[in-house]
Amino acid sequence: MRRLALTCTRGVATPSHRLDATLARHRLRVHLARPNVIDGRHQQRPSAMNPLFASLPTTIFEEMSQLARAHGAINLGQGFPDDPGPEDVRRKAAEAVVDGYNQYPSMMGIPELRRAIAEHYRHHQGLDIDADTECMVTSGATEALAASILGLVAPGDEVVLFEPAYDAYLPLVRQAGGIPRLVKLSPPDWRFDPAALAAVISPKTKLLVINNPLNPAGAVWPREDLEALAKAIEGTDAIVVSDEVWEHVIFDGRPHVTVLSVPGLRERSVKIGSAGKIFSLTGWKVGLVVAAPPILRVVAKAHQFLAFTTAPNLQTAVAYGLGKDDAYFVDMRARLQGQRDYFSAGLKAAGFTVLPSAGTYFVCVDLKPLGLSDDAAFCKRLVAEAKVAAIPVSAFYSGDAVRHVVRFCFAKNEATLDEAIARLVRAAPALAA
């Protein structure tokens, strides 16, 4: 269009050329005025793309991190620890990069890691897992979730989600053509009402996605809740996808109850773990998947076209790490529990009502006693006035949200927590007003 206009204006100007040129200039102006032409370069309009992803807003994590940078705030919004992760595990990865195999590893994961996964869960969770047919390695738990949901859900299937829900679940369910059926969880215990669950189970239920320990709430469902879930799907063909990435980040001596240990769920569940959380190495993105062979075979077919495989050197290091002594896991939990207690005490000193945190890197505060009921507005004021970034829990709901709870990441060193607490103590009176 632009070339046509130039040719016409530079050529011999007959009346018909002049008309052509005028029309061409008009069309060019209209074309350039459209939102899909920026600086003369064609940009696809969102409507021309998959509306599901094109219309997704920037995540709250990104938004709060940007605000944290803009205000010079301490970022307790995003969930990553200050701890650099165990040095021996990092060294193992470095050695494997230099001396090891760096070509495509097996799609299911290197045999050494699959054996380590089976042995790790035998030792820590009493599970009997076949390394060859029941374990798969993915590029993070996120890819495992994508492979499970895209692999198992067909258009029109119903998928039960519990909200607050990790942000990846709902878009993946929608992309698979699944129909979300939501169960609302509320503070302070964030447990489900069995009647509310029964109300959304139907013959069309294909999948239930659960997250235990639960991000953002820091809650841990007891065994009886998982048994109630097993009972609710008795007689159906529903499969459970159990996001257990926080399985080792669990406090006060609680054992982690995996879905695979619950009668009735072993053969119909996909258990998902993450080396990122187990070793405080969140950037590694190594996911661990365990499921009965008929389910895993299908999830693996989706995985082969998502990431197909995962860096072999990181797999080697994770295989080594999973075999670490119990002392590592005990110390890691004790350190994080100490940070939880330290920061919770600081929040209380600042006048906040702190909700219990039984696991994860997160602790939440309840704004209700302060007379506040808009967590998103509160977080925006908090980052600007206190210079501390947090996450509004309402961002984890798509429907009827809990709007009076705010999540903080406490997995930070003492100096960072001290400074955050000092800022909160200084700003709290104005924020509560």
Nearest partner of 411 among 337, 326, 329, 327, judged by Cα: 337
Q: How far apart are CA 62 and CA 79, in angstroms?
A: 12
Q: How far apart are CA 361 and CA 353, in angstroms?
A: 18
Query: Minimum distance between the CB of residue 278 and ligand PLP, rounded to whole angstroms?
Result: 10
Tell me which residue has tokens 């993915």: 138
Decide whether 181 or 407 has the Cβ nearer to ligand PLP: 407
Decide whether 24 or 272 has the Cβ nearer to ligand PLP: 272
Query: Minimum distance between the CB of residue 271 and ligand PLP, rounded to whole angstroms?
Result: 12
**Residues of this chain that bind ligand PLP (CB under 6 A):** 79, 140-142, 166, 211, 215, 243, 245, 274, 276, 282, 285, 287
Pairing of strands 179-184, 205-211: unpaired
Query: Minimum distance between the CB of residue 270 and ligand PLP, rounded to whole angstroms?
Result: 13
Nearest partner of 125 among 205, 226, 28, judged by Cα: 226
Run of H or E residues at 95:
helix 87-99
Position of minimal CB gap to ligand PLP: 140
Decide whether 140 or 392 has the Cβ nearer to ligand PLP: 140
Query: Minimum distance between the CB of residue 129 and ligand PLP, rounded to whole angstroms?
Result: 19
Decide whether 313 or 387 has the Cβ nearer to ligand PLP: 313
Query: Minimum distance between the CB of residue 55 and ligand PLP, rounded to whole angstroms?
Result: 23
Decide whether 79 or 85 has the Cβ nearer to ligand PLP: 79
Decide whether 28 or 311 has the Cβ nearer to ligand PLP: 311
Measured in residues, the chain has a length of: 433
Q: How far apart are CA 417 and CA 402, in angstroms?
A: 26
Query: Minimum distance between the CB of residue 291 and ligand PLP, rounded to whole angstroms?
Result: 16
In the chain, % helix, strand, coil (3-state, to 5) comes to 50, 15, 35
Decide whether 139 or 316 has the Cβ nearer to ligand PLP: 139
Query: Minimum distance between the CB of residue 402 and ligand PLP, rounded to whole angstroms?
Result: 17
Task: Tell me the C-alpha to C-alpha distance, in Å, between residue 197 and each of 181, 191, 207, 227, 332.
Answer: 9, 11, 13, 13, 35
Query: Minimum distance between the CB of residue 28 and ligand PLP, rounded to whole angstroms?
Result: 46
Q: At 263, list the tokens.
A: 């009668």
Q: At 354, list the tokens.
A: 């702190």
Nearest partner of 358 among 259, 221, 227, judged by Cα: 221
Q: How far apart are CA 267 and CA 273, in angstroms?
A: 17
Decide whether 147 or 238 has the Cβ nearer to ligand PLP: 147
Q: How far apart are CA 209 and CA 222, in angstroms?
A: 16
Are 296 and 136 within 8 A, CB to CB? Answer: yes
Query: Minimum distance between the CB of residue 306 and ligand PLP, rounded to whole angstroms?
Result: 12
Decide whether 139 or 205 has the Cβ nearer to ligand PLP: 139
